[in-house]
Chain A
Amino acid sequence: MNAVLVISERDNVATALEPLDAGRTIRVAAVSLTLVDAVPRGHKVALRAIGAGEAVVKYGSPIGTATADIAPGAHVHTHNVASTRGRGDLRARPQPGSARIAEPPDPA
């Protein structure tokens, strides 16, 4: 059994099939990759450098955007990947004048 699984050749991350310690070197296809971080079982490890703003790709499709530069062998999870879908938190804040119930009126 391999230590990690790569689903599609387009992927830039692999899934750890066992807990991986930082510093361990694993073989992925023909290349060797040294773990920068510890990666828990089921979590993802970067197969190559992924720049901030680049797509993180698994199953051959984008699963989100890197929020920081990610080094090869680094743990890839919520601390360095953001979803691009359903992000109401990124929506522009309501403009003054569109105040909702229970908000005080604008002092003007």
Chain B
Amino acid sequence: MTSTASFLGYRRPDGRVGVRNHVLVVPTVICSAVVAERIAASIAPVGTALPHLAGCGQLGPDLTLTHETLAAYCRHPNVGAVVVVALGCEQVVAERLADDARRAGKDAHIVAIQNEGGTLRATSKGIEIARELAASVSRIDRSWCPASSLIVSVKCGGSDYTSGLASNPAVGRVADRVVSLGGSVVLGEIAEIMGAEHVLADRASTPEAAAQLLRVVNRVEAEAIALGLDIRGTQPSPGNIRGGLTTIEEKSLGATHKAGERTRLEDVVGYAAPIKKRGLTVMDTPGLDVESVTGMVGGGAQAVLFTTGLGTPTGNPIAPVIKITGNARTARSMADNIDVDVSGIMVETESLDRAADRLLDELLGVCSGRPTAAERLGHREFAIHRRNPTI
């Protein structure tokens, strides 16, 4: 047990701790996404954009979800400063996003394409601002921070039989350790709790947390049933089925191992909503990898432990995503996407505890600045969950 586990992080003015120090370029709406990406590219890799498909043509809950997800990224401790790129006539309000960043103690500026007079002028003004911000955030130094300041997202994607037997239990032991060190763990993907909800509900610290979990799982199941279809085909996916997973119950029981064995379920929160409790939080996200990671990072996770059996490249614009596989063939065939190979667990050449030791070391190393495979490859996938049609 690493009782003094710590890492070199960025202490932010609002008291939160970051593991990256990005200048975030946020388009308010799909219409300003290309300008935002060009501005971010001019200061890569410090600059990172959040291209998305929303920001207009949305009503009620979806508009709120878009706004709150973008605002959560503006406040995120992995972000040092913010440029908001607006069009000018959209629903998402640039000033509100900039205010959120400023309230978290970050420098924030707005460039509006209609105000500046087109793509070229807006891009050029944005690049000028972004270069100044990149210079100013580069003067923020890392300092030693305790593991208790971490919120770690646990996630699986492209699962096969090795996920439930090796990589998920190994990540689960890291989750247990992070929580015992005073940190937080967040698990998403409600559809992949279906069939394993009893395991988590039994570990709820309060009857309310257990009831919240069952409510949200029942809602997702009712939504699937209302479509009049068998969810087999997406849960498990065709690749999961080829890999030997037969039903969603089987996938869920294996997936839930990621959340540890000793962690207590403390809270259930909405998509991209702030994770406030130490211990285990479940977030209401869909099973689609990128939407799920986007939500958990929005909730405050600084890093993601992502297990995969078949191999998958998913990253995130502001948070390091660490890829872990228990499949020896995937470790070889997709070596450029994999950070940690725990396939020794499958052939009993490595114990779960030893694999968890290596994973915790990797997590703390990455949180201190070591780039992940996804970061080295430029994987910065971002997708905001939406529940309703575009109007």
Which residues between 3 and 28 of chain A lie within 8 Å of chain B, taking CB atoms?
5, 7, 15-17
Complex contacts, B194 vs chain A, CB 8 Å: 85-86
Complex contacts, A1 vs chain B, CB 8 Å: 347-348
Complex contacts, B195 vs chain A, CB 8 Å: 61, 63, 83, 85
In the complex, how many angstroms separate the beta carbon of A20 from the nearest chain B beta carbon? 12
Cβ of A81 < 8 Å from any Cβ of B?
yes
Cβ of A64 < 8 Å from any Cβ of B?
yes
Q: Does A77 lie within 8 Å of B199, measured CB to CB? A: no
Q: Does B244 lie within 8 Å of A64, measured CB to CB? A: no
By a beta-carbon cutoff of 8 Å, the part of chain B in contact with chain A is 160-162, 164-165, 191, 194-196, 198-199, 221, 224-232, 235, 241, 243-244, 246-250, 253-254, 346-348
In the complex, how many angstroms separate the beta carbon of B85 from the nearest chain A beta carbon? 39
Name B347's closest neighbour in chain A (CB-CB): A1
CB < 8 Å neighbour of B231 from A7, A42, A58, A88? A88
Q: Does B243 lie within 8 Å of A42, measured CB to CB? A: yes
Name B257's closest neighbour in chain A (CB-CB): A59
Name A59's closest neighbour in chain B (CB-CB): B253
In the complex, how many angstroms separate the beta carbon of A57 from the nearest chain B beta carbon? 10
In the complex, how many angstroms separate the beta carbon of B188 from the nearest chain A beta carbon? 17
Q: Does A89 lie within 8 Å of B161, measured CB to CB? A: no
Considering the chains assembled together, what is the distance between the CA atoms of A10 and B190 in angstroms? 26
In the complex, how many angstroms separate the beta carbon of A83 from the nearest chain B beta carbon? 4
Q: Does B224 lie within 8 Å of A64, measured CB to CB? A: no
Which of A56, A83, A90 has the largest number of chain B CB atoms within 10 A?
Answer: A83
Subset of 6 A-B contacts with CB under 8 Å: A15-B165, A17-B346, A44-B246, A63-B246, A63-B250, A88-B226
Q: Does A85 lie within 8 Å of B198, measured CB to CB? A: no
CB < 8 Å neighbour of B249 from A7, A85, A88? A85
Per-position 1/0 for A67-108, Cβ under 8 A of B: 000000000111001111111111100000000000000000
